[in-house]
Amino acid sequence: MKITRLVVVAGAVLALGLTAFDASAQMRKVKVATEGAYAPWNFVNSAGKLEGFELDLGAELCKRAKFDCEFVAQDWDGIMPSLLAKKYDAIMAGMNITPKRMETINFTTAYAAGAHGFLVMKNSSLTKMPGGEFSLTKDPAGAEKAIADLKPLLKGKILGVQASTTNLAWAEKYFKDVAEIREYKTTEQHDLDVAAGRIDAAVVAHSAAKATMETATGKDMAIAGPAFSGGMLGLGVAVGIRKEDNDLKAAFDDAVKSAIADGTIKRLSEKWFKVDMTPKS
C-alpha cells in the first residue's frame, strides 16, 4: 500500500520533471543585440522595425541552431558592456573579431568579411588618393607602404570615425600624427558631416559606405583611396558571445558553418550588399 503510493508519487514527480525538462529542451530563448543604425548590416526601416543582412542571417542561424531568438537594438558604444551585463546573449552588429575584443568576449566563426577605406565627397581632392587592395594580415609590408603613401595627402585633414570601432583604432594608429580625428556615435552622424563639409573623409567599412552613397545624404560621395582589410581592422564579422557561454558559441559556430557551406550567406550578402561577403578561409 505504502509502496504503491510512493511509486505513484515518484512517478508524478518524474513526469512533472520530464515535462519541465522537455519544455526547456524544446527551444532555448536567445536575445540577440544589434545596433540598428548601420545599413545595410542592420537598421531600422521606415516602419520602425529592425531590418538588414544580420536580421535575415540571424533568423536563419537561429532556425538552424533551434533557438527562439529575439532581436533588440542597442547603441553601439554600449553594445559590449551590455553583453557582459547579461542584457542579451549575443551580438550581431557588423562587429569585427579583433584580438583586443577577444580579451573580453568570444566570437564565433566569421560570417562576413569586407574591406575598409575612406568615404569622401566626389569633388574632394582626396579622390586622387591611389587605389589598390591591401590585407594587413597577408601583406603587412604592402599595407604599411600604402598607408605611408596616404599620409602626405591626408596632412591637415579632418577624419571622422565611429567611436569604439576597428576603424577608429586603425585611423588613430596611422593617421593621428597628420590628421585630426573626430569620433562619432553613429556612422550616420559622420556621413552628415562629410556631406556638410565639416570633415574631409570618414573612415568606414566599404559595405556601409556603399549604402550611404545610395541615400540622399551620400549621393555626391565616393569611396576613395585603397581598400584595407584584415589585421587590426578585423578578422571578419562574427557573432559576439560571452566567454562562458561555450554551448551557445558551439551552436552558432555550426549554424554559421552550415550557412557558409550551403551558400545561404552568399545569397543573403548578394541581396543586401550586392557583392559576396562570404569570408574566404
What is the β-pairing status of strands 42-44 and 37-38?
antiparallel
Q: Which of 1-9, 141-149, 192-200, 253-261 is the region at the interface with another protein (rule: CB under 8 A)?
A: 192-200
**Is there binding between residue 185 and another protein (CB under 8 A)?**
yes
- CA angle centred on 241, ends 235 and 242, rounded to 5°: 125
Nearer to another protein, 239 or 259 (CB): 239
**Is there binding between residue 136 and another protein (CB under 8 A)?**
no
7, 68, 70, 78: residue in contact with another protein (rule CB under 8 A)? 78
C-alpha cell read off for 66: 533551434
Report helix, strand or coil for 254. helix
CB 6 → another protein: shortest distance, Å?
52
CB 58 → another protein: shortest distance, Å?
23
Site string for another protein, 141-180 (x = CB under 8 A): -------------------x--xx----------------
How far from the centroid of its chain's Cα atoms is residue 161's Cα? 15
43, 184, 252, 272: residue in contact with another protein (rule CB under 8 A)? 184
CB 163 → another protein: shortest distance, Å?
6
Nearer to another protein, 60 or 200 (CB): 200
Residue 80 CA to residue 72 CA, distance in Å, equals 14
Strand partners of residue 91: 33, 240
Residues 6+ apart with CB under 8 A from 261: none
Nearer to another protein, 69 or 154 (CB): 154
11, 18, 104, 173: residue in contact with another protein (rule CB under 8 A)? 104
CB 168 → another protein: shortest distance, Å?
8
Nearer to another protein, 67 or 184 (CB): 184
182, 257, 266, 267: residue in contact with another protein (rule CB under 8 A)? 182
Cα radius of gyration rounded to whole Å, the chain: 23
Residue 185 CA to residue 164 CA, distance in Å, equals 9
CB 220 → another protein: shortest distance, Å?
12
Cis peptide leading into residue 81 (ω within 30°): no
Quote the DSSP letter at residue 92. -
Measured CA to CA in angstroms, residue 163 lies from 38, 119, 123, 181, 190 at distances of 13, 16, 26, 11, 10
**Is there binding between residue 14 and another protein (CB under 8 A)?**
no
Site residues for another protein, 194-223, by CB under 8 A, read 195-198
Measured CA to CA in angstroms, residue 243 lies from 10, 92, 106, 170 at distances of 39, 16, 5, 25
Rule CB under 8 A: which residues touch another protein?
A: 77-78, 80-81, 84, 104, 160, 163-164, 182-185, 189, 192-193, 195-198
